[in-house]
Amino acid sequence: DAGVTQSPTHLIKTRGQQVTLRCSPKSGHDTVSWYQQALGQGPQFIFQYYEEEERQRGNFPDRFSGHQFPNYSSELNVNALLLGDSALYLCASSSPKDRGVYNEQFFGPGTRLTVL
Amino acid sequence: RKEVEQDPGPFNVPEGATVAFNCTYSNSASQSFFWYRQDCRKEPKLLMSVYSSGNEDGRFTAQLNRASQYISLLIRDSKLSDSATYLCVVIPRTGGFKTIFGAGTRLFVKA
């Protein structure tokens, strides 16, 4: 059973550029959440996608946008990159149909983004 | 005040020790609570859910105190392999689907 996969694993960009990160959820999961984790901090919720729509958003500017495809995979786009966007970007999938554990999320290995 | 607060540590304990972490949350309507574990440069993984009645999984015990708005994690008989960062997670009822992580508590277990 494939877990959550993310690509690429590492990425280096310069200020002002745009980046797209990709995520494939765990088999059977239909909900994808994106998080930003700066060094020494916990993951910060960016947004969650369900049924191809953004269901909830955290405190991130509009430069952060996303998409979910019919096969439940998802993309995170960040425009006009800033130095402060350097972080580990984590994708997590879940299924509201899971019994027993409410909102258990399975994380992918993350994409480490460095903005120079 | 942060929505979820944890003592960052680090906690340095010898093998076999018992160690406890607390995590406080600010939203009294919070609905669900979890502890996740994150190894260095790896993704977080669910350690255990936290139920109102408390729950135990082997050497790990989680407790919820709604009146004081904190959750706790107790690790008994610490192993070297328990060395990691422990993240407290809260899902606020009013927040819907947003998941709030604490900054984590670092634990080092030494031989």
Cβ <8 Å between A108 and B95: no
Which stretches of chain A drop beneath a pLDDT of 70? Answer: 1, 96-103
- Per-residue confidence (pLDDT) for residue A102, from 0 to 100: 58
Q: Which residue of A has its CA nearest to B90?
A: A103
Q: Residue B42: closest CA among chain A residues belongs to which residue?
A: A109
CA distance B109 to B94: 38
Instruction: Say yes or no: A63 contacts chain B, CB-CB below 8 A.
Output: no
Q: What 3-state class would DSSP assign to A27?
A: coil
Share of chain B above pLDDT 90, in %: 78
Cβ-Cβ contacts under 8 Å, B45 against chain A: 107
Which residues neighbour B53 within 8 Å (Cβ) at sequence distance 6 or greater?
Answer: none
Q: How far apart are CA A66 and CA A76, in angstroms?
A: 4
For chain A, strand residue ranges (E) read: 5-7, 10-13, 19-24, 31-37, 44-50, 53-57, 64-68, 74-78, 87-94, 106-107, 111-115
**Mean of the per-residue pLDDT values for chain B?**
92
The contacts of residue A44 (CB under 8 Å, 6+ apart) are A35, A36, A37, A38, A58, A59, A60, B101
Average per-residue pLDDT for chain A: 92
Query: Do A80 and A68 touch, CB atoms closer than 8 A?
Result: no
